[in-house]
C-alpha cells in the first residue's frame, strides 16, 4: 500500500487536500469517485524508510527482537503516550478535536512535536481527516495509530479507539520495561567481569611475567598459557579493539538489511529458552495489535497488513504477511496461521474459536494476555538461572587467572625450602 496526496473537490464546493492510502493511483481515483468527490490532482507521497519498513514488515524492539521497529524519535514514546492520554480526557469532557489540539499545543514543550501538532491542526481545519493528518507524518507515528483513528472516525468512536490504543501501548511498554529491567543486572555483571579480566590480562599478568623472568626455570603449563594469552592481548590490544569495532560496525550494517534482519531474527528464535521468550513476545505483539485494530472496526485484511508491521521479529512478521493473500481470498484466519508453522496450537485454537463465535477480538486479547504472563514467568526463571551461571563462569575464569599467577610462587617457595 502507498500514500497519495490528493486535492479533492467536495460535493459542497470546497477544495481540500487529503492523504489517501491505496495500492495504486487508479484505486485512489476510484475511491474518491465512489465518495462523490472530484479529483483535481494526485501525487505519490515519498515516505521515509522507517515507514516503508512498517508497511512492508521490518520490526524491532536485537535483543531488538523484544522491541518494536525504530522510527524517528523526534517525538518520544512517553510524550506521545501523555499527549494521547490528555487528548482522550479532553474529548471525554466534550471538547471538539480542534479545541483539544489548541490546548495541547500550548502545553507542549517539545518544539518538534509542537510543529507536528500545529500541522495536524491546520490540516484538520482545512478538512483533512484526523487520521490522514497523522498519517502524513508517518515517520513519527505508527501506522497502527492512524489506522485506529480512521476506524474510529468511521464508527464515530474516536475516544474509544484512542483508549484502546493507549491500553495497547501501556501493556506493550510494561512488557518491554520488564525485559529491559531483567537483563540490566546480568549485563552489568558481565561488563564488569570483562573489564576486570581485561585489566588482569593486559596489565597485571605482564608485570608478573617480568618478575618471574628473574628467577629463571620453566613456568607451569597453566601459567605459560595465561602469560602467552596476556602478552598477545597486550601487544595487539589496539589492533584487536579496532578489529572488534570494525566487526561490530559491519555486522550492524548487515543486520539492517532485509537478509541480515531475517537471519538474525531467525537465529534468535532458535536459541534455547531465550528463543521461546522472543517467539512468545512476537506472538503477543501480533495478537494484541490485531485485537486493537479489529476492535476499532478495521477490516481483517487491512488489520493483518498493519499488524505484520507491528511485529518486531522479521521471521514472524513474514509469516503474518504470507497469511494476508490467503485471507483476502476467503481462507479462514486460523487455518492460514496454522499453515505458517510459526503459531502455537493455543493461538490457533483461540483464533478458531473467535472466528466461529464472532468474538475474535476477545480471543486475541486472551492470547496476548496469556503470553504476557508466560513471558513474565519465563524471564524470572531465566534471571534466577543466569545469575549464578554468570557468577560461576566468571568467578572460575578469574580464579584460573589468579591461580596461574600464584603457581610459580609455590614452585619458587618449594625450591627455596629444599
Burial track 307-320 (b if 16+ CB lie within 10 A, e otherwise): bbbbbbbbbbbbbb
Q: How far apart are CA 215 and CA 413, in angstroms?
A: 12
What's the predicted TM-score (pTM) here?
0.60
What residues does each domain of the chain span?
72-141, 168-418
CATH class, range 168-418: mainly alpha
CB 368 within 8 A of CB 280: no
Give CA separation, 376 vs 242, 277, 363, in Å. Answer: 38, 9, 20
Q: pLDDT tens digits for 276-332?
A: 888 888 888 888 888 888 887 778 888 888 788 778 788 888 888 889 899 988 889
CB 44 within 8 A of CB 25: yes
Q: What pLDDT sits at residue 246?
A: 93
Q: What pLDDT sits at residue 63?
A: 35
Q: pLDDT tens digits for 173-189?
A: 777 777 777 777 778 88
Q: What pLDDT sits at residue 353?
A: 92
CB 230 within 8 A of CB 206: yes
Split the chain (418 residues) into runs of 10 and give each run's mean pLDDT. Answer: 74 66 80 75 56 34 36 68 87 86 86 87 84 77 76 75 81 75 78 84 77 68 82 82 90 84 86 84 85 82 81 85 89 91 89 90 89 82 80 85 78 62
Q: pLDDT tens digits for 140-175?
A: 777 778 777 877 777 677 787 788 788 877 877 777
- Joined together, the cell numbers standing for residue 140 give 513519527
What does pLDDT average to over the chain?
78
Helix boundaries (H) for 200-220: 205-213
**Coarse DSSP helix, strand, coil percentages of the chain, rounded to the nearest 5 percent:** 75, 5, 20
Q: What pLDDT sits at residue 59?
A: 36
DSSP-derived 3-state class of residue 110: coil
Amino acid at each position: 500500500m502507498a500514500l497519495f496526496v490528493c486535492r479533492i473537490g467536495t460535493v459542497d464546493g470546497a477544495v481540500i487536500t487529503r492523504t489517501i492510502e491505496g495500492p495504486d493511483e487508479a484505486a485512489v481515483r476510484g475511491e474518491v469517485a465512489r465518495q462523490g468527490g472530484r479529483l483535481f490532482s494526485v501525487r505519490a507521497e515519498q515516505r521515509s524508510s522507517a515507514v516503508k519498513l512498517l508497511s512492508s514488515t521490518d520490526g524491532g524492539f536485537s535483543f531488538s527482537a523484544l522491541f518494536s521497529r525504530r522510527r524517528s524519535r523526534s517525538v518520544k514514546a512517553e510524550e506521545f503516550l501523555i499527549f494521547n492520554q490528555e487528548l482522550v480526557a479532553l474529548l471525554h469532557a466534550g471538547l471538539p478535536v480542534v479545541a483539544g489540539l489548541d490546548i495541547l499545543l500550548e502545553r507542549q514543550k517539545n518544539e518538534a512535536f509542537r510543529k507536528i501538532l500545529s500541522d495536524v491542526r491546520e490540516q484538520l481545519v482545512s478538512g483533512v481527516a484526523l487520521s490522514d493528518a497523522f498519517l502524513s507524518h508517518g515517520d513519527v507515528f505508527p501506522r497502527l495509530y492512524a489506522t485506529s483513528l480512521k476506524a474510529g472516525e468511521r464508527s464515530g468512536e474516536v475516544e474509544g479507539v484512542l483508549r484502546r490504543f493507549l491500553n495497547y501501548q501501556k501493556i506493550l511498554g510494561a512488557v518491554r520495561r520488564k525485559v529491559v529491567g531483567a537483563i540490566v543486572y546480568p549485563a552489568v555483571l558481565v561488563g564488569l567481569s570483562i573489564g576486570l579480566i581485561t585489566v588482569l590480562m593486559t596489565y597485571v599478568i605482564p608485570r608478573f611475567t617480568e618478575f618471574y623472568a628473574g628467577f629463571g626455570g620453566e613456568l607451569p603449563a597453566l601459567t605459560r598459557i595465561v602469560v602467552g594469552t596476556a602478552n598477545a592481548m597486550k601487544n595487539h590490544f589496539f589492533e584487536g579493539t579496532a578489529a572488534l569495532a570494525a566487526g561490530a560496525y559491519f555486522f550492524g550494517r548487515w543486520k539492517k538489511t532485509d537478509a541480515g534482519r531475517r537471519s538474525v531474527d531467525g537465529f534468535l528464535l532458535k536459541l534455547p529458552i531465550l528463543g521461546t521468550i522472543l517467539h512468545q513476545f512476537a506472538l503477543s505483539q501480533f495478537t494484541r495489535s490485531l485485537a486493537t485494530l479489529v476492535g476499532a472496526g478495521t477490516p481483517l485484511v487491512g488489520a493483518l497488513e498493519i499488524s505484520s508491521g507491528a511485529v518486531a521479529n522479521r521471521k514472524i512478521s513474514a509469516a503474518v504477511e504470507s497469511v494476508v493473500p490467503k485471507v483476502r481470498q476467503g481462507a479462514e484466519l486460523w487455518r492460514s496461521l496454522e499453515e505458517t508453522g510459526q503459531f502455537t496450537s493455543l493461538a490457533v485454537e483461540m483464533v478458531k474459536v473467535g472466528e466461529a463465535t464472532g468474538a475474535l477480538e476477545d480471543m486475541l486479547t486472551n492470547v496476548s494476555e496469556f503470553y504476557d504472563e508466560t513471558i513474565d514467568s519465563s524471564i524470572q526463571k531465566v534471571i534466577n538461572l543466569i545469575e549464578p551461571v554468570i557468577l560461576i563462569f566468571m568467578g572460575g575464569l578469574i580464579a584460573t587467572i589468579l591461580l596461574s599467577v600464584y603457581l610459580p610462587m609455590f614452585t619458587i617457595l618449594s625450591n627455596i625450602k629444599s
